[in-house]
């Protein structure tokens, strides 16, 4: 095979991969090989082979017999919107520490990645509530206050929740799309989000959204506590105050980052 022929073959494979990825864009439920082949205009056998390569590289994830956009692509997309999560984390660490000292409870900072929250900071409290299931520092956003605080302001991601059945982690988890929409309206009105026993029985949380320089919500701050904690009613005020203090620092950090990149 000549060098020119090899280059054309490589370009053809890349084009097929791009077509398949574009076919998966916005799909939360996952698509099967036959449907993806039809959308991309290629044979089923070719689609299966290319999808196998994309899966090995983390560009697509296999869900049962279907496929969806993989973690590598989601991270790239998130970083395009939030170029440097470390900047967010570092800007908020002092306020996380203050909130931890004030309450003795576990404090989180997270950002949204599609239908999941990605935790940037976790500071575990002395009176730590039972650990929530949180593999790989991710958790489905609909099941936790910090996720709801982010979803309420991200219409694309919140709309995507209606595409697939939502997992119930306990009998308290909100999985009905209409009920979630009502919660998101309340969160936007009050500027604060709650969950009670939704991710794990005995564990509750309160969270506030944090806005960037353009006014868009880019992160959220939360306290996780035992549902029976007698001090729980005060935590909402503490989180609100911490969020109000942290927001200007976050905006300054992201503004400086943007100015540095443009310069």
Do both 192 and 137 map to the same domain? yes
Give me the percent of the chain exceeding a pLDDT of 70: 84
Cα–Cα distance between 110 and 88 in angstroms, integer?
9
Q: Which band of pLDDT confidence, cut at 50, 70 and 90, is reported for residue 213?
A: confident
DSSP class of 154: -
- The predicted pLDDT at position 2 comes to 47
Q: How many domains does the chain have?
A: 2
Are 216 and 245 spatial neighbours (Cβ–Cβ below 8 Å)? no
Q: Which band of pLDDT confidence, cut at 50, 70 and 90, is reported for residue 110?
A: very high
Q: Which residue has the tokens 């868009």?
A: 216
DSSP class of 25: T
Beta carbons within 8 Å of 107's beta carbon, 6+ residues apart = 96, 99, 100, 121, 122, 123, 125, 221, 222, 223, 224
Beta carbons within 8 Å of 200's beta carbon, 6+ residues apart = 130, 132, 133, 169, 170
Do both 108 and 173 map to the same domain? yes
Domain extent at residue 133: 83-262
Summary mean pLDDT of the chain:
84
Q: Answer with the one of 28, 61, 77 that is the final residue of a domain.
A: 77
Phi, psi (rounded to 5 degrees) for 11: -65, -40
Q: pLDDT tens, 65-105?
A: 888 877 677 666 655 555 577 888 899 999 999 999 999 99
Flag whether pLDDT at 132 surpasses 70: no
Is 71 in a helix, a strand, or coil? helix
Q: Answer with the one of 77, 95, 128 that is the final residue of a domain.
A: 77
Do both 179 and 97 map to the same domain? yes
Do both 17 and 140 map to the same domain? no
Whole-angstrom distance between the N-terminal and C-terminal Cα of the chain? 47
Q: Which of 95, 118, 128, 140 is nearest to 240 (CA)?
A: 95
Output the domain CATH number for residue 12: 1.10.10.10
Q: Which band of pLDDT confidence, cut at 50, 70 and 90, is reported for residue 21?
A: confident
Rg (CA), the chain: 21
6's tokens: 């090899």
Do both 117 and 170 map to the same domain? yes
Flag whether pLDDT at 1 surpasses 50: no
Do both 219 and 160 map to the same domain? yes
Cα–Cα distance between 71 and 57 in angstroms, integer?
10
- The predicted pLDDT at position 65 comes to 80
Do both 68 and 152 map to the same domain? no
Beta carbons within 8 Å of 143's beta carbon, 6+ residues apart = 167, 169, 173, 195, 198, 199
Do both 252 and 145 map to the same domain? yes
Flag whether pLDDT at 131 surpasses 60: no
Output the domain CATH number for residue 161: 3.30.450.40
User: Average of pLDDT values for 14-42?
Assistant: 83
Name the pairing type of β-strands 193-196 and 60-63: unpaired
Do both 142 and 254 map to the same domain? yes
Are 203 and 132 spatial neighbours (Cβ–Cβ below 8 Å)? yes
- The predicted pLDDT at position 171 comes to 97
Flag whether pLDDT at 262 surpasses 70: no
Are 181 and 188 spatial neighbours (Cβ–Cβ below 8 Å)? no
Q: pLDDT tens, 148-203?
A: 999 999 877 777 777 778 999 999 999 999 999 999 999 999 999 999 999 999 99
Do both 153 and 198 map to the same domain? yes
Q: Which residue has the tokens 């306020």?
A: 95
Q: Which of 98-102, 113-117, 249-253 has the lowest mean pLDDT?
A: 113-117
Q: Answer with the one of 77, 100, 117 that is the final residue of a domain.
A: 77
DSSP class of 29: S
67's tokens: 């496929």
Do both 178 and 229 map to the same domain? yes
Do both 180 and 252 map to the same domain? yes
């Amino acid at each position: 095979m000549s060098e020119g022929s090899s280059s054309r073959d490589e370009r053809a494979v890349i084009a097929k991969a791009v077509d398949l990825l574009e076919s998966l864009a916005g799909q939360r439920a996952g698509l099967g090989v036959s449907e993806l082949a039809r959308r991309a205009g290629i044979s089923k056998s070719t689609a299966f082979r290319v999808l196998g390569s994309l899966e090995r590289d983390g560009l697509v994830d296999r869900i049962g017999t279907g496929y969806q956009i993989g973690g590598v692509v989601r991270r790239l997309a998130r970083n395009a919107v939030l170029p440097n999560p470390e900047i967010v984390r570092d800007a908020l660490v002092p306020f996380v520490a203050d909130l931890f000292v004030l309450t003795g409870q576990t404090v989180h900072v997270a950002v949204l990645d599609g239908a999941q929250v990605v935790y940037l900071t976790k500071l575990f409290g002395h009176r730590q509530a039972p650990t929530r299931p949180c593999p790989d520092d991710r958790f489905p956003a609909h099941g936790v206050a910090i996720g709801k605080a982010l979803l309420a302001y991200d219409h694309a991601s919140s709309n995507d929740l209606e595409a697939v059945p939502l997992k119930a982690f306990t009998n308290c988890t909100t999985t009905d799309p209409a009920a979630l929409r009502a919660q998101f309206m309340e969160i936007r009105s009050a500027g604060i989000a709650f969950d009670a026993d939704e991710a794990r029985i005995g564990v509750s949380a309160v969270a506030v959204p944090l806005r960037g320089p353009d006014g868009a919500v880019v992160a959220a701050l939360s306290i996780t506590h035992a549902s029976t904690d007698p001090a729980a009613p005060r935590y909402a005020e503490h989180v609100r105050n911490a969020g109000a203090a942290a927001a200007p620092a976050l905006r300054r950090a992201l503004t400086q980052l943007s100015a540095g990149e443009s310069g």
